[in-house]
Amino acid sequence: MSKLPTLKDLVDSWLQADQNEDTRADIQTLWEEGNTAELERRLRNRIDFGTAGLRGRMEAGFSRMNDLIIIQTSQGLCEYINTQVQNAKSRGVVVGHDHRYNSERWAGLTAAVFLQKGFKVYLHRGLVHTPLVPFTVRQKRAAAGVMITASHNPKQDNGYKVYWGNAVQIIAPHDIGISSAIMSKLDIELSSPWSIASKRAFEHPQSLDVTDEMYEAYFRILKGLTAPISPNSTITFVTTPMHGVGNKPVLQALQNMGLSLQRIVVVHEQQDPDPEFPTVPFPNPEEHGALTLAMRKADEVGAAYVLAQDPDADRFSAAQRTSAGWHQFSGDQLGSLLASRILNKYKENGKSIDRLAMVASTVSSKMIESMAKAEGFNFVECLTGFKYIGNVASRLSEDGYDVPFGYEEAIGFMVENGIRDKDGVSATVAFVELVTQLETRGSSAFQYLEELYERYGYFETNNSYFICRDPPTIDAIFARLPFET
């Protein structure tokens, strides 16, 4: 049995490997101050690479998100892709980033690792919303993709999300294979100082900028999926990107479908990307109070609906003014509304219902299953997370089904845009199309939801969560849970 390293061994190992002056100084100071408890938390256990990639607090330590962890992870991922994917270097990888602290730097470091190994890298310039990475993987037939984002996590966090060549988040056994490859490639191989390597990655001849090209293709597809909004529509929408990257793509997509800027009011305090998230400590549209500013703005301008995307714009929420006040739709309610929209379009186009399929996670409402039984289309339930929803949708597509919709109750929606992942922008467009069409017959989303309940049955879900930031405690909790294999 191997002997556990001492705390001094761990400190020395960190100081020897880390080139970042700030994080080196952080560990050095903790050691000099004798803060052994904090050093144990930071250094004893390594941050786990799983099917969601990496996500954690930005600070020094093997259990945190920092330059060293990004480089080591990229080295392992690069090695694994090269051994698993034919022509991986020429197919290339896609890298994008959001607006969080360190995101651009870490996108550059990720690209630098792959470039040094001879890979072509589609390195997006500027801020992009997360769905553009899998979209680019699919459009360019790349070997894989990496998005630097922590989605709706607090400002202290960042993450490293990995997509496989099928443009879907990775699942087993890739997560295990990548994790093993990371542990076998811990010695740093970058030949340049890290700060220089990150910047040079954006200038490398094999670092290709296809950002504008991909957004043009993305918006072209979105525009083709929705009917033009009636010029007689009088609905005003308030929208908020929650201090994230969604404002530009959302406004562009809404204008492309014919919604005038006079009918779109952006929450001024939240419209620009801001890594501090000053108005929302937890920038998740689901959180109680997260839409307070948007609802207040909607009251000021007389808007009927509030539209919200989380900071990396891969999730979507909405609220409607009713006679009883504001009603914020749950993820399951939005899922039911958007699924019905797809079903109605299928019927209107005369398509065969028996080749239609939809997917939802097992913790989501059973309303779509009830809808499928009544209407005759195929419904598949899968494990929680879009890594499973996307892969199930891909398999169904290979079996000859059309899978234009999938969702999970945590306000994630896959809406017929060619991406097997959640997308807050396409979900926003789909919702706006639905409510403007309902307007023409004197109805609304809230009223239509009641119609769906009467038609398919009433379904109610109620969930919550606990926040724990101590990995050993989390492991202990899950170790006590019974799992069946």
Q: Would you please indicate which residues are annotated as catalytic (active-site) residues?
A: 151
Question: 365, 367, 380, 302: which is closest to 340 by C-alpha?
Answer: 367
Burial class (CB in 10 A: 0-12, 13-18, 19+), 300: exposed
Give buried/exposed letters for 173-195 (b at 16+ CB in 10 A, else e): ebbebbbebbeebeebebeeebe
In the chain, the N- to C-terminal Cα span, in Å, equals 29
Judge whether 121 and 111 are in contact, CB under 8 Å.
yes
Q: Which helix (H) or strand (E) holds 455?
A: helix 445-456
**Cα separation, 259 vs 238, whole angstroms:** 12
Sign of CA dihedral 369, 339, 356, 454: positive
Which residue reads 């761990």 in tokens?
Answer: 10
Secondary structure of 65-123 in the HEC alphabet?
ECHHHHHHHHHHHHHHHHHHCCCHHHHCEEEEECCCCCHHHHHHHHHHHHHHCCCCEEE
DSSP 413: E
Token readout for 91 is: 């197919």
* H helical segments located in 201-330: 211-225, 247-256, 292-301
Question: 91, 294, 363, 40: which is closest to 208 by C-alpha?
Answer: 91
Which residue reads 């490398």 in tokens?
Answer: 204
Radius of gyration of the chain (CA): 23
Judge whether 422 and 409 are in contact, CB under 8 Å.
no
